[in-house]
Amino acid sequence: MGIGKQIEQIAQEHPDKAALIFKNNFITYDAFYQSICHIQKHLLYIGDTKRPQKVAVLIGNEPAFLEVFFAVVTLGWTAIPFDPKWSEREAAQVMSKAEADIYLKSKQFTEYAPYMVDAAYDIEEIKATPIIGDSLPPWNVHTSEHFYLGFTSGSTGSPKGFIRNHTSWLESFKAGEEAFQYGRDDVIMAPGPLCHSLSLFGAIHALHMGATFHLTTTFSASSILSHLRKGCTSVLYAVPTMLQSLMQHLTKPIKRKITFLSSGAKLDSRLRHKLGNAFPESIIYEYYGASELSYVSFSSEELSSKYPGSVGKPFPGVQITVRNSNGEPVPNGNIGKIYIESDFLFDGYVHEPEETKKVLTDFGANIEDLGWMNDEGVLTIVGREKNMMISGGLNVFPEEIEKVMKEKDTVKEAIVIGIQDEYWGQKVIALIQWKGKAYPDSLHLHCKQRLASYKVPKAFYEIEAFPYTSTGKIARKEIEMKWRDLINEYTCNC
């Protein structure tokens, strides 16, 4: 049984149940199912039915995106979500790699990206146009077939396509339900772009298991808080920057049971504490994963309190090992490369066999994250191998220093980079976005008290605001490129 197969059954058994909430309107499972079937008829008419088709989805956060996605994957075809924030150059690179057979677009999407494929079929016209015939193939897709080709930023700046089969997400769905204790009675919201795997996963899982998905066009802290206050949402997928924004807009506690699922970056302990106070009846989970890996580990409030710097224990069905550069397992407490074995893994990068081999190794999947395990099987991430610096001949992980600096209430955000230096090789410097007045001397002392001397930044520079990626993460590469060129133009405060 492939992804989406249960929608047909749910539509028959609970036709009036809300599949989607969108702009205060309800779309029932029966209406959702009928739309999927209608789109499938058009796809079979315009596509090559002799082989599985790859369908590029140029549609924003609107019901049509999810209707198209399920129409494609339940046919046994592959959906390729496009991001309206891609530059024209990036879009061209994706089109070349994806080799889509069919392009579907919406007016909303092309208003933001007018250069996207003039020959694409208009989804609004497809939905409004009747088509003769009512026969459709059964939704009996083999779970080993590919259903999703997503694109993430590559290390060279060129988007990298990762391909997934049905089993990888179906098994992830089971693990998520077991770990987070949610199900078809929940109303789930994932207010990020559906073209990104984090929000897409939340939406597809919700609809696959028969829950209600609350779809938003964009992230709006005030709007989400209003929905949470009214009890319109019981599960919220979010990245820490979204949760931080919610806290900034909240005026009084919301006493409703809400399950928060935080991912995409480490959840700051102070933010977790604020979130718990603001939503006293809530459950807060943090989980670690990646587009290529799906779920890896998760941490409950109890585990986060006991091991605040960790990312928790493995999900059901996940095996984690930490190994040295020779591939040998290291003792607990020692830092090494993190390898993941599970049924949740991706199948590889499209047209990039060498890059695929680097990730899918004989020891499991490795995406260059470094960390260590304790004797209780709790995982702590120390950073990315590619971010590691060598200063004075010693290994320095920027993420470790950043976490220490963000313990200070005066620090809003911090990034550590290394610049070339004759003495140190790479000199460790910190870029700080202060919440108000700058206190570099106090921050310097704080770092000296909590870090080895070679890890303490040699200079602190103030920055007004950091650039962010469309997934809510700080654009580290962009910052590093800019600041390494301009560092001498700024005055050091220490």
Length of the chain as a residue count: 494
* DSSP code per residue over 373-397: E-TT--EEEEEEGGG-EEETTEEE-
182-193: per-residue pLDDT in tens? 999 999 999 999
- Cα–Cα distances (Å) from 362 to 17, 337, 380, in that order, read 46, 13, 23
Residue scoring higher pLDDT (465 or 97): 97
The tens digit of pLDDT for each residue in 266-293 reads 888 889 999 999 999 999 999 999 999 9
Nearest Cα to Cα of residue 39 among 155, 130, 159:
130
CATH of domain 5-379: 3.40.50.12780
**pLDDT band per the 50, 70, 90 thresholds, residue 172:** very high
Tokens of 160: 């990298």
SS3 content of the chain, % helix, strand, coil (to 5): 35, 25, 40
Least confident piece of the model among 234-238, 248-252, 425-429, 468-472: 468-472
pTM: 0.85
The third-level CATH classification (topology) of the domain covering 388-489 is: GMP Synthetase; Chain A, domain 3 (3.30.300)
Q: C-alpha distances in angstroms, 392 versus 186, 269, 420?
A: 53, 31, 11
Confidence class for position 488, pLDDT limits 50, 70, 90: very low
Residues 150 and 130: their CA atoms lie apart, in Å, by: 31
Contact between 408 and 444 under an 8 Å Cβ cutoff? The reply is no
Q: Where are the domains of the chain?
A: 5-379, 388-489
Per-residue confidence (pLDDT) for residue 479, from 0 to 100: 80
Q: Note whether 5-379 and 388-489 share their fold.
A: no
Query: Predicted confidence band at 486 (pLDDT cuts at 50, 70, 90)?
Result: low
d(CA 59, CA 69): 10
Share of the chain above pLDDT 70, in %: 95
Average pLDDT taken over every residue of the chain:
91
pLDDT bucket at 177, cuts 50 / 70 / 90: very high
| Whether 440 contacts 461, CB under 8 Å | no
Going by pLDDT thresholds of 50, 70 and 90, the confidence category of residue 308 is confident
The region of weakest confidence among 39-43, 362-366, 401-405, 416-420 is 416-420
With H, G, I as helix, E, B as strand and everything else as coil, classify residue 323. Answer: strand
Q: Is residue 312 predicted with pLDDT exceeding 90?
A: yes
pLDDT at 99 over 90: yes
Residue 485: the pLDDT is 59
Q: Tell me the average pLDDT across 203-210.
A: 98
Higher pLDDT, 157 or 456: 456
Q: What is the DSSP string of 216-231?
A: -SS--HHHHHHHHHHT
- pLDDT > 60? residue 295: yes
Q: Which two tokens stand for residue 296?
A: 């890896």
| pLDDT for residue 424 | 81
